Chain A
């Protein structure tokens, strides 16, 4: 027997290293578990897609119209809910004060009380107190501005329009 033949016979003895008799069946049962897990994972997704596809293949025109309308409604709602004016960020930086600032809009430039206004504080976005031009407010309540309250800026050189729904008047003004 030459060296090469001996070597081959020696290496072939490695086939006696085996994992044991039960290995195959144990391995198979573990594999089945894994396979089922993967199949379940896949079927959850495929089921979703299948149902989605089925949904749109049955009477597709109506359903696409409905889906489009639903998406449009969601987009519109999001647009309506979003703060629309850039100065809102600026307002946020001015507030909130620990104690809400109380302003009197029911006085004129000499400090004399104006009849017809009982509003003391106007709160915007739930936390920001601002001064409001009584005249403009008056116009608003008398229908001059249907959707917005005009709020002068801190530098008194400009004003912003704040949506009515974001303004908390504390008490309903008595406009006469």
Chain B
């Protein structure tokens, strides 16, 4: 019952906060198909275009799961290298988008398992555009009652700490859903789990995050 109530709290989520890492449209999927077909025939420029297109999206995914930009860059190289090597076996049953996301999630989870508890945080700079984001203004204004002044870097640090406290599975769904704006169905395909599992993981992850970020959200 608690879960259902929580699920009702997320109407239309995953559709209203997509910036440059938007999930693909139908035309985007068509262009992917064409690029994949050309890359499969040995056209490396076509694969370059896919790398160019998916690097920002996958960077966001890996970065928010690892909290280390150097690891992210290295891992992303491995991800694209693996995708290139496996491209001949990509039959187009799923979209390229889902396929490359699945590779990325699996490789990142494997990396995190190998890395273990040792985490060296190395964060990217925060884009100055954040200061004009209505969400930032709202959140910081509301938080002023409890936090006299919200510093961007302090906020970044706190958000990362909260994310890193989540389990890897929970962090994955939060990254895909909240940060990247994917739909439950898309996440379900990428992770190879049911939509119910995705929703359940999100619910528990959000509950934990609410506790960790209490002074911002109350």
Chain A residues within 8 Å of B, Cβ to Cβ: 1-20, 23-24, 27-28, 30-32, 34-35, 38
Q: How large is the interface on B (under 10, 10 to 19, 20 to 34, 35 or more residues)?
A: 35 or more
B interface residues, Cβ below 8 angstroms from A: 6, 9-10, 13, 17, 19, 21, 44, 48, 51-52, 55-56, 59-60, 63-64, 69, 72-73, 76-77, 80-81, 84-85, 123-127, 129-130, 133, 135-136, 138-139, 142, 155-156, 159, 163, 174, 178-180, 206, 209-210, 213, 216-218
Bound-complex Cα distance A24 to B72 (A): 13
Once A10-B213, A13-B155 are accepted as A-B contacts, the answer to whether A19 and B178 lie under 8 Å apart by CB is no
Is A1 a contact of B138 with CB atoms below 8 Å?
yes
* Contact present for A23 and B77 (CB under 8 Å): no
Residues in A neighbouring B76, C-beta threshold 8 A: 27
B81 pairs with A19, CB closer than 8 A = no
Q: Which chain A residues lie closer than 8 Å to B80 at the CB level?
A: 31
Could you say which residues of chain B place their CB within 8 Å of the CB of A5?
9
Please measure, in the bound complex, the distance between the C-alpha atom of A127 and the C-alpha atom of B102, giving whole angstroms. 69
A6 to B138, CA, bound (A): 8
B residues near A2, Cβ cutoff 8 Å: 9
**Which of A8, A12, A15, A28 interacts with B48 by CB under 8 Å?**
A28
Q: In the complex where A7-B210, A27-B55 touch, is A15 in contact with B19 (Cβ < 8 A)?
A: yes
A5 to B163 CA separation, bound complex (whole angstroms) = 17
Using known A-B contacts A17-B123, A19-B69, determine if residue A6 contacts B81 with beta carbons closer than 8 Å: no
Contact of B73 with A17 in the complex, beta carbons under 8 Å: no
A41 to chain B, nearest CB (A): 12
Residue of B nearest to A25 (CB): B52
CA distance A17 to B69 in the complex (A): 10
- Shortest distance from the beta carbon of A15 to any chain B beta carbon, whole Å: 6
- Does the CB pair A24–B9 fall under 8 Å? no
**Are B125 and A11 in touch, CB under 8 angstroms?**
no
Interface contact A30-B77, CB-CB below 8 Å: yes
Report whether B64 and A14 are in contact in the complex, using a CB–CB cutoff of 8 Å. yes
